[in-house]
Amino acid sequence: MNTDFSRRTLLKRFTGVAAGAALLASGEGLLNPFTAQAADALWNKPRSANGWDVLAGRSSGTATYDVPGTNLQVILREGDVGTVLAYVAQRFHYDVTQLEASRGRITGHSDDRQVKADFESNHLSGTALALYPDNYPLGVKGNLFPYQVTAIRDILAELQGVVKWGGDMESVKESTFFIDVSPGSTKLALVAETLRQWRLTPGKGAGTQSIGDPKRLTAAKKLASKQAA
């Protein structure tokens, strides 16, 4: 199990840990590893599982995004998708566990058509992000402490459900996040624009949230009941 966590998170979120434990009493974030094996399959469809066009290569429709607060970069679909998923990585770094190149890789767009679960095809369209996939592999559940799951739920709720967590998939993969709305989504565009405005506004965006706030916990629980169904 990964026991590393952000010192910044401890200083700013201690109260949120206790509150989050209540949110997750129903069973989320249980520390009971479960392993399932899946065979590789070749994804030959023109669209990834979430309905986005597969990108021909990294020079077509992708861009390199910095992960603020780190020295890391990730290649994602250019535009609103990249803005949102890069923000997921930033908040993961601040609130779940620190992202460091020495600890593993992060993956955005990929040309590898070999997938073990359909949602892994979302990397082909540049609409998925995997943070330490070797540490949190497909089929293994229980890698995260309850307070880390609470933080992830808060991230998803803050993004109004336009991103889904692989931890909620039938073939679980707790390292993965992917866009869960169709191309042209108005909600995605609005969320992305909000994130861009936060970059310009002191006191907004990643690192400013109070995860233990009752309203945030309620919103996170409500979304989890939908996405984990």
pLDDT in tens, 24-55: 333 343 333 444 445 689 999 999 999 999 99
Could you give the number of structural domains in the chain?
A: 1
**pLDDT (0 to 100) of residue 85:** 98
Chain centre to alpha carbon of residue 17: 19
**pLDDT (0 to 100) of residue 202:** 81
The rounded distance, in Å, linking the Cα atoms of 124 and 112 is 7
Residue 43 domain-assigned?
A: yes
Residue 32 domain-assigned?
A: yes
Residue 210 domain-assigned?
A: yes
Coil/strand/helix, residue 73 = strand
What is the reported pTM? 0.82
Residue 96 domain-assigned?
A: yes
Q: Give the count of beta carbons closer than 10 Å to the beta carbon of residue 56.
A: 10
**pLDDT (0 to 100) of residue 32:** 38
The domain containing residue 29 runs over which residues?
7-227
Strands (E), the chain: 41-42, 62-66, 73-77, 106-107, 114-115, 128-131, 163-165, 176-179
pLDDT above 60: residue 17: no
Residue 221 domain-assigned?
A: yes
Residue 2 domain-assigned?
A: no
**pLDDT (0 to 100) of residue 229:** 64
pLDDT above 60: residue 12: no
Share of the chain above pLDDT 70, in %: 81
User: Are residues 176 and 165 in contact, defined by beta-carbon separation less than 8 angstroms?
Assistant: yes
Nearest to 48 by CA among 72, 81, 79: 81
Inter-CA distances, 33 with 139, 158, 172, 219, Å: 9, 28, 11, 27
- Residue 141 is encoded by which pair of tokens? 């559940």
Residue 1 domain-assigned?
A: no
In angstroms and rounded to an integer, the radius of gyration of the C-alpha atoms of the chain is 17
Q: What is the pLDDT of residues 51-107, one digit of tens each?
A: 999 998 766 899 999 999 999 999 999 999 999 999 999 999 999 999 998 888 999
User: Are residues 89 and 75 in contact, defined by beta-carbon separation less than 8 angstroms?
Assistant: no
Instruction: Enumerate residues 6+ apart whose C-beta is below 8 A from 53.
Output: 46, 47, 125, 183
Residue 169 domain-assigned?
A: yes
**pLDDT (0 to 100) of residue 59:** 64
Give residue 96's region: left, alpha or beta (phi > 0; psi -120 to 50). alpha
User: Are residues 92 and 42 in contact, defined by beta-carbon separation less than 8 angstroms?
Assistant: no
Nearest to 8 by CA among 196, 201, 206: 206
User: Are residues 75 and 126 in contact, defined by beta-carbon separation less than 8 angstroms?
Assistant: yes
Nearest to 125 by CA among 70, 175, 181: 181
Q: What is the pLDDT of residues 143-195, one digit of tens each?
A: 999 999 999 999 999 999 999 999 999 999 999 999 999 999 999 999 999 99
